Structure 1
Amino acid sequence: MNRLHTPFSHKGLTLRNRIVMPPMCQYSVHAKDGKPNDWHFVHYTSRAVGGAGLIIVEMTDVEPDGRITDYDLGLWSDDHIPAFARIVSAAHGHGAKIGVQIAHAGRKAQDAETPVAPSAIPVEPGSKPPRALTTEETEAMVVKFREAARRAIAAGVDTIELHGAHGYLIHQFHSPALNKRDDAYGKDLSLFGVEIVRAVKSVMPPDMPLLMRISAVEYMDGGYELDHSLDIARKYRDAGVDMFHVSSGGEGPAGKRKPGNYPGYQVPFARAFKQALDVPVIAVGMLESPALADSVVASGDADLVGVARGMLRDPYWAIHAIQAVAGKAAIPAPKQYERAF
């Protein structure tokens, strides 16, 4: 039986356990140039020491104005590679695998002078209005994603995740309510994401899995339902996505339907993706109870569990969770700390 502490393998990626540290922006005031700094080094390395199987570096953007804020990370220049490589090497030294989430905030780029989007629809009344990308700019954006992936691979990552969730640019293109274009990227809502997947796969090693984070449903009034996200995800899978990191919402203010606020509320979405697409999935959503996280994997609802805020509170959440559900023999504690367990 698969459990929280058991190894996981897919293509060329092998993890020591089923625990994922999902991407969480740090909004670090010292990262205005887009480069990870000492804060990020300690932040990510401590979770590797703390036993995580896979660490996914926070949303890292393909151009400066693609960031949510000016204090987020980027991979728009080869000058960024060494700072990422330092973190990757340290994570590997402590037994974790590590990836990076590549993205563009689109209309949610709050510090951009003029955000860009598929269509000129603001996040909410009174927010900064975006400008619709031209067809040529959209094609150029695909290349920017490819080049960011190339740099991540040069830094030594074990996997790449594309951010197709939470109302950022890829999500905006595949959302019927946010994409009102009349060119090819509007006629086929999956086209932008599919082209990015193919472009990124073209520079990835053949055995490196490509992940995508996706919002299974939208919460704004008139937002899409699960059947739409599964249809879009099926096209992404066929283009080359190997695993889905299944979340929900984030596209804008919630309407009549609200996101859940209880442990495991997004697990049914992960289960639906796993069953419909026959690919590994990462489940998220208030899973910091070790028993709950273990049950999600053991029941087959998901292959991996992402624990976000729990790991912000406790860098050693993975060690403590495995200790709770599997006992001393399974604990991934470093040699220097073994006597404490």
Structure 2
Amino acid sequence: MPPNGHGATVERMEKRMEQFDVIVIGGGAAGLSGALTLARARRAVAVVDAGEPRNAPAAGVHNYLTRDGMSPAALVAQGRAEVTRYGGTILDGVVRGARRTSDGFEIDLDGGGRLAGRRLLVASGLVDELPDVAGLRERWGRDVVHCPYCHGWEVRDKAIGVLGSGAVAADRALLFRQWSPDVVLFTHTAAPLTPEQAERLAARGVRVVEGEVVAVEVDGDRVAGLRLAGGEVVAREVVAVTSRMVASSPVLADLGLKPVEHPMGAGMAYPAGPTGQTDVPGVWVAGNVTDLMAQVISAAAQGVMAGAAINHDLVDEDADRAVAAQLSGNHAKTIP
């Protein structure tokens, strides 16, 4: 028997409502780390995972001490095994909605299943919205990259094309210049460069190509260049893009929470306190759903912090209930 007595299977969930201390929505680094923390605290915890991690196309996780280069799938598989080792339940499924109840929350799963929990931890991540350029999405996570700290070492010394969009195009080109001497900034839809930006780029040897990019050219199974609207193809081996990162959750929306614009214009995320607590009592968030810039290791850390905070919250509630029950029992004994 698992430590908390909950080792339920998917089939068992479909037959009847199952009550948990905490339901975790999202089974990536943040969600699994939160679940692990809670399971080790002997809480009955269930993780519902849709199986669509943001980093699935990537070959490996990076900047995660002792796990650098590990495939995202292997990291998730090991995390799931650790959660279940301590009695946690893992469910493959999609959460369609949520509502508050007198005892906490209920969530609806695809296929008609339902779960109940005293607390919720939402770690459902985000979606990267890419520029509208033909062929970009198909190469995403391989030789179309967004984060130099995630992929810079792997694309070092290659011919990198930075696709300009938003206000950070020049800064992004200078950043990727750290990893390669051959960087070209394609202005695409970005605002015109200021004289200072142009000077800095030129000083670092970053060439600027004006005009809209319409397609990624591919040779075999690798990027070969970027095609401009006028037909010219500029040879490149790697394309760096700035995606718009958008966190959306039917659960958080149903409970009255709304995402807000990132202060740097990077996308939309759900605000929360230092431990991930939202404005809705009993609901926490962790990872990219609240922190657009979080890498895997920082998302995992946020999951741990949220899990510990949730356990403390439940400890307080358990103590309050115990005191109330004791007082109620003493009162009943005094009734003639």
For the pair shown, the structure with the greater C-alpha radius of gyration is 2
| TM-score grouping bracket, smaller chain normalisation | 0.3 to 0.5
Select the structure that is richer in strand. 2
> Could you state the TM-score of these two structures normalised by the residue count of structure 2?
0.33
> Could you state the TM-score of these two structures normalised by the residue count of structure 1?
0.33
Q: Which has the higher contact order (CA 8 A, sep 6+)?
A: 2
